[in-house]
Homo-oligomer: A and B are copies of this chain.
């Protein structure tokens, strides 16, 4: 059933979306301000589940592209996502399209809410990544053969570019990335226009709800002074995700970073505390956390969701905010089956990020469950 999402829900969604961001996707803060301003004017949103979406209802996914940090240096005017959405809708002749998320993790969780509020339209409870990923074609919409173009990009200068017919979704990423860089490092992009029947076969379902559930669980645990980590793991067992578990608790002892081809790459080393005392965990990241290693063994990896959290508060720590000495917990939320088909793993399994090995289910689950 469709449900209402109000301003009061944005706190929880920001917390949950940051956790689904798996270290990347950007701090939801600026997106949240934008969504909040629009909802303050227009009231709560109607959220449609994928099931109840009419087959012939046009849907246009919308998100920011580029470095979210740029938004702090030059905040958006606030109309860019709506403009990208409307211009694309007009270009393809579907004036009554509904906005839909591209990326449930990070700042992009908020962008479609802002557009829905500004236009007084429903938003769809689904996305194309089921988390955060760095590149445009890393979407179930792509994996299910839907064309990313026509797409429309809008910059904070009001520049609008329609990527009208692009021969494949990798080329779309390549051209849109180039434009985004020349537009100063960030833009807003409406893409993968499709009908309800395509959303039904190609979207990761319930991810807006999932973000809310996780965020609410953390807030509730904080209020009740119980462990937010266990609460969020329980909440994350939803919509095909999970079973989630706490893979490690410890203290950050080293962070290595490098910038390579526009991505923030690096590795964080965590020395165990409590039950994990005496052992060491390493996480390799490229914007998002990719692979978790204990010694030589890779114990969790993309596309499963690996998030580093503040051990006390249960709040996510993005990869750019990892620091020596932080007390953290590493939570693994196994991704749902739609994200683990052979076609999906080719795009965003370990090999999709250049690792020379295949995806395996998280190996620590049993150990972690045993330890609790």
Residue numbers of A with Cβ under 8 A of B are 87, 91, 152, 157-167, 171, 174-175, 178-179, 181-183
- CB neighbours (8 Å) of A182 from chain B are 174-175, 178
The verdict on A164 contacting B162 (CB below 8 Å), with A157-B171, A178-B181 known, is yes
- CB neighbours (8 Å) of A163 from chain B are 161
Count of this chain's copies in the oligomeric assembly: 2
A175–B164 CB distance below 8 A:
no
Complex CA distance for A171 and B158, rounded to whole angstroms: 11
Complex CA distance for A87 and B150, rounded to whole angstroms: 13
Central interface residue in A87, A159, A175, by most chain B CB within 10 Å? A159
In the complex, which residue of chain B has the Cβ closest to the Cβ of A178? B182
Least CB distance from A348 to B in Å reads: 23
**Besides A175-B183, A178-B182, A179-B179, 15 other A-B contacts (C-beta < 8 A):** A91-B91, A152-B164, A158-B165, A158-B167, A159-B167, A160-B165, A160-B166, A161-B161, A161-B163, A161-B166, A162-B162, A162-B164, A174-B182, A175-B179, A178-B179
In the complex, which residue of chain B has the Cβ closest to the Cβ of A166? B159
In the complex, which residue of chain B has the Cβ closest to the Cβ of A167? B157
In the complex, which residue of chain B has the Cβ closest to the Cβ of A163? B161
- CB neighbours (8 Å) of A167 from chain B are 157-159
Complex CA distance for A175 and B158, rounded to whole angstroms: 13
Which of the residues B87, B165, B174, B181 comes within 8 Å of A164, measured between beta carbons?
B87
Complex CA distance for A157 and B161, rounded to whole angstroms: 19
In the complex, which residue of chain B has the Cβ closest to the Cβ of A161? B163
Least CB distance from A77 to B in Å reads: 12
Complex CA distance for A157 and B157, rounded to whole angstroms: 29
B171–A159 CB distance below 8 A:
yes
Give 9 pairs: A residue, B residue, CB < 8 Å, sorted on A: A91-B91, A91-B162, A157-B167, A159-B165, A159-B166, A159-B171, A160-B165, A175-B182, A178-B181
- CB neighbours (8 Å) of A178 from chain B are 178-179, 181-182
- CB neighbours (8 Å) of A159 from chain B are 165-167, 171, 175
Complex CA distance for A87 and B91, rounded to whole angstroms: 12
- CB neighbours (8 Å) of A183 from chain B are 175
Least CB distance from A269 to B in Å reads: 37
Complex CA distance for A91 and B183, rounded to whole angstroms: 23
Which of the residues B87, B164, B181 comes within 8 Å of A161, measured between beta carbons?
B164
In the complex, which residue of chain B has the Cβ closest to the Cβ of A158? B167
In the complex, which residue of chain B has the Cβ closest to the Cβ of A159? B166
Complex CA distance for A299 and B159, rounded to whole angstroms: 42
Least CB distance from A46 to B in Å reads: 30
